[in-house]
Amino acid sequence: MNTMDLLEALGDVREEYLREARAVRDPAARASGRGKRRRAVLLAACVCLVLASVTALASGRFGTWVLTIFTDRQLAVDYSESGYDLFVDAERIPADALKGDVREAGAEIARQYRDYRPYSSWFPGHWRRTFPSRAEGGDYIGLDGLKQPELDAEEQETEVNVYGDADGTIRSLTLDTAYTAGDIRLQFSARIYTEDYTEDITTGVRTTEHAAYTESLYTTERGLSCQVLTSTALESGYAGIDGYLVDGGVLYDLHIAYQEAEAERAQALLHQWADGF
């Protein structure tokens, strides 16, 4: 695998790095001083990505890091988007670690594939079930060590979403719970990737509105690293703050939407959530 293969295999790598890599392949660029500079930039990009992976493995801790952050990125003449992409380094969970009734979802997904027809208005591979509480959703999954940190907010509906293949093999699943705290809206997700999920894991946010994002890190009381992405307000007046934390092979994230006057309380809720791990 060459340098370009490495960058493209990672997926969603910053576009400027890919442009530099393609330019280095051009004979005219190699013949000029620009070729040397571009090779240096490309090498630095690869070194950063490799060191990030090595550091995570050496420390025994997994986590997330930013691939790209963009504001008003033009995708078409009349279409742009703002958001960010994260690379996720998380352990894959053995299938037999899911000890709850969630295994029945695999059989249902296999049935979806058998019943699917080209003219169907739905696609196979996704199964969903709602629960009156997050605790019940967690019991349904049955994963030992699945964290349920408390929040000073009112719990709303919980969903379990399961994704699998035609053989009924569960590849990933999420436990999603909505909360409210006055006018603040929260969405708490736990994402589990099984040993049968072989692709790189990435996640991110997209909006067609103008929004600027900033990154910071919060260290929890246990010394875990929580990556925080904060956005400016949208047209609705709501700004956003997102926290990402990997613990025990599970990617946890909390999205908080709040009015500017509630910024301090929103940050306090994020810290309460992160310190609950």
Which residues lie closer than 8 Å to 204 by C-beta, 6 or more apart?
Answer: 12, 83, 84, 85, 86
Q: Are residues 77 and 149 in the same domain?
A: no
Provide the 3-class DSSP secondary structure of residue 202.
strand
Q: Are residues 124 and 211 in the same domain?
A: yes
**pTM over 0.85, yes/no:** no
Q: Are residues 173 and 271 in the same domain?
A: yes
Q: Are residues 116 and 150 in the same domain?
A: yes
Query: What residues make up the domain containing 49?
Result: 3-89
Domain limit, last residue, from 49, 71, 89:
89
Q: Are residues 230 and 125 in the same domain?
A: yes
* Rounded distance between C-alpha atoms, residue 48 and residue 25, angstroms: 21
Domain limit, last residue, from 56, 89, 122:
89
Q: Are residues 72 and 107 in the same domain?
A: no
Which domain CATH number covers 116?
A: 3.40.1000
Q: Are residues 180 and 263 in the same domain?
A: yes
Q: Are residues 82 and 99 in the same domain?
A: no
Q: What tokens does 118 get?
A: 């080209």
* Rounded distance between C-alpha atoms, residue 232 and residue 110, angstroms: 43
If one counts the domains in the chain, the total is 2
The per-residue pLDDT string of the chain (277 residues; one tens digit each, 9 = 90 and over) reads 444 444 444 444 445 544 544 444 444 444 444 444 444 434 444 444 444 444 443 344 589 999 999 999 999 988 999 999 999 999 999 999 999 999 999 999 999 999 999 988 989 999 999 999 999 999 999 999 999 999 999 999 999 999 999 999 999 999 999 999 999 999 999 999 999 999 999 999 999 999 999 999 999 999 999 999 999 999 999 999 999 999 999 999 999 999 999 999 999 999 999 999 9
Q: Are residues 16 and 115 in the same domain?
A: no
Q: Are residues 108 and 85 in the same domain?
A: no
Q: Are residues 118 and 179 in the same domain?
A: yes
Among candidate residues 66, 46, 60, the one with its CA nearest the CA of residue 90 = 60
Provide the 3-class DSSP secondary structure of residue 174.
strand
Q: Where are the beta strands (DSSP E) in the chain?
A: 63-76, 79-89, 126-131, 154-164, 170-181, 184-193, 201-207, 213-219, 225-231, 238-247, 250-259
Q: Are residues 114 and 64 in the same domain?
A: no
* Rounded distance between C-alpha atoms, residue 162 and residue 103, angstroms: 10
Q: What tokens does 148 get?
A: 């349920």
Domain limit, last residue, from 66, 89, 112:
89
